[in-house]
Amino acid sequence: MALIVQKYGGTSVGSVERMLSVARRVAKYKAQGHQIVVVVSAMSGETNRLLALAKNIQDSPDPRELDVVLSTGEQVTIGLVAMALMQVGLKAKSYTGAQVKILTDNAFTKARILSIEEQNVRLDLANDYVVVVAGFQGVDENGNITTLGRGGSDTTGVALAAALGADECQIYTDVDGVYTTDPRIVPEARRLKTITFEEMLEMASLGSKVLQIRSVEFAGKYKVRLRVLSSFQDEGEGTLITFEEDKDMEQAIISGIAFNRDEAKITVRGVPDRPGIAYQIIGPVSDANIDVDIIIQNVSTDGTTDFSFTVHRNEFSKAMEILKNKVQKHIGAADVVGDDKTAKVSVVGVGMRSHVGIASKMFRTLAEEGINIQMISTSEIKISVVIDEKYLELAVRVLHKAFDLDQERI
């Protein structure tokens, strides 16, 4: 007998038929004697619909009230899925995040889970219930409803699995595992049987939305056995996130390609080259709670230099405004220019550690297609480049081919 947490995403509970199909899968696991906790997202499209409603009233909706609105999507699905489970003959009980008590900090719309009171869930499981928990939401210490950021139901699933000491956390979605890249962009992408935790962390943080990054962080911290599977297939082992590199297997140099369309680039030109400048530029931006990603400072020639960095596209105009109004004059920079039509493409693989020439192969491949590289950033197991957004899909496709990711691994 095992304790399994199964998380179902929006498409997997997108209709009454899909919810009944979830219930039938759970019934199969119950028949084998397992204890099952089900974590669900809102029905597909619902969170976007709620967000649009809010934005029709306030351009930037009040964060506390926005979370009150956004969390309702998942409240609908827990009740319906519990009913579907009863319909197939199981005992079921639903809980919102606050009812479980998934305690979070108070950072509305991007709250972090602090603790989970899992005793009631355990008791229900012992009494043969299937427990259905709303993903993506929690409650802060003052009783305010919070949400965990887009894709946050993954994190609820893994965090619950950690709190319960579950044997496995299964993430059911609309693809049958983690692929070498998004199969919607590259049809030749292949499913990976396993991916290391470190690689998955990079892939998620670099834009592969198949798992929310915080869910991968949780899995790493609490060593949760994590698997991504399709809710549309009855068979299939999906992709297992592993914590050890398989020494016996010939390690692929590159495991996957991630990309992110939401990157916007800003350059402060003609910055005096003296101590404290980087701080004077980035300080006000981060004080405004804007996340900065890749940062590049050029070597100075005539005592001045250019300073470039990227931010999320949604925060581009806010960042530009800060730099133009508060920073430029103050530090005596010549100009502030920006481009919000850029994208980031990254190749990821632990095999990079033991191979040279990956960067040069990546750059050559892009050059052969006439794709200009605007920024570069590297770590031990990834290389990212910022390019014009209009070349994004082409870049992903040619890199996928150049690194033989469409070939079966031996």
- The contact set with Mg ion (CB under 5 A) reads 9, 151
What is the nearest approach in angstroms of ligand ASP to the Cβ of residue 279?
34
With CA atoms as reference, report the closest residue to 208 among 234, 245, 173. 173
What is the nearest approach in angstroms of ligand ASP to the Cβ of residue 8?
10
Residue 45 or 272: which CB sits closer to ligand ADP? 45
Binding of ligand ASP by 97 (CB under 6 A): no
Which residues inside 141-180 make contact with ligand ADP, applying CB under 6 A? 151, 173-175, 178-179
H or E segment to which residue 216 belongs? helix 213-222
Count of residues in contact with ligand ASP, rule CB under 6 A: 13
Tell me which of Mg ion, ligand ASP, ligand ADP, none is bound by residue 157, counting a contact when its beta carbon lies within the kind-specific cut-off of 5 to 8 angstroms: none
Q: Which of 256, 265, 277, 322 forms a contact with ligand ADP (CB under 6 A)?
A: 256
Q: Which stretch binds ligand ASP (CB under 6 A): 147-155, 161-169, 283-291, 332-340?
A: 147-155
Report how far residue 335's alpha carbon sits from residue 267's, in angstroms, rounded to the nearest whole number.
Answer: 8
**SS in 3 state form for 139-193?**
ECCCCCEEECCCCCHHHHHHHHHHHHCCCEEEEEECCCCCECCCCCCCCCCCECC
For residue 36 the two structure tokens come to 């099952």
For residue 113 the two structure tokens come to 């889970």
Residue 9 or 238: which CB sits closer to Mg ion? 9
What is the nearest approach in angstroms of ligand ASP to the Cβ of residue 233?
20
Other Cβ atoms within 10 Å of 373 Cβ, number: 15
Residue 8 or 129: which CB sits closer to ligand ADP? 8
For 191, which DSSP code?
B
Residue 138 or 152: which CB sits closer to Mg ion? 152
H or E segment to which residue 292 belongs? strand 292-297
- The SS3 assignment for 392 reads helix
Which residues inside 45-84 make contact with ligand ASP, applying CB under 6 A? 47, 73
Site string for ligand ADP, 351-380 (x = CB under 6 A): ------------------------------
Residues 6+ apart with CB under 8 A from 221: 162
Beta strands in 349-381 (DSSP E): 375-379
Report how far residue 127's alpha carbon sits from residue 119's, in angstroms, rounded to the nearest whole number.
Answer: 12
Beta strands in 184-246 (DSSP E): 194-196, 226-230, 239-242
Tell me which of Mg ion, ligand ADP, ligand ASP, none is bound by residue 136, counting a contact when its beta carbon lies within the kind-specific cut-off of 5 to 8 angstroms: ligand ASP
What is the nearest approach in angstroms of ligand ASP to the Cβ of residue 152?
5
User: Can you give the binding site for ligand ADP, defined by CB under 6 A?
Assistant: 9-12, 41, 151, 173-175, 178-179, 181-182, 184, 208-210, 256
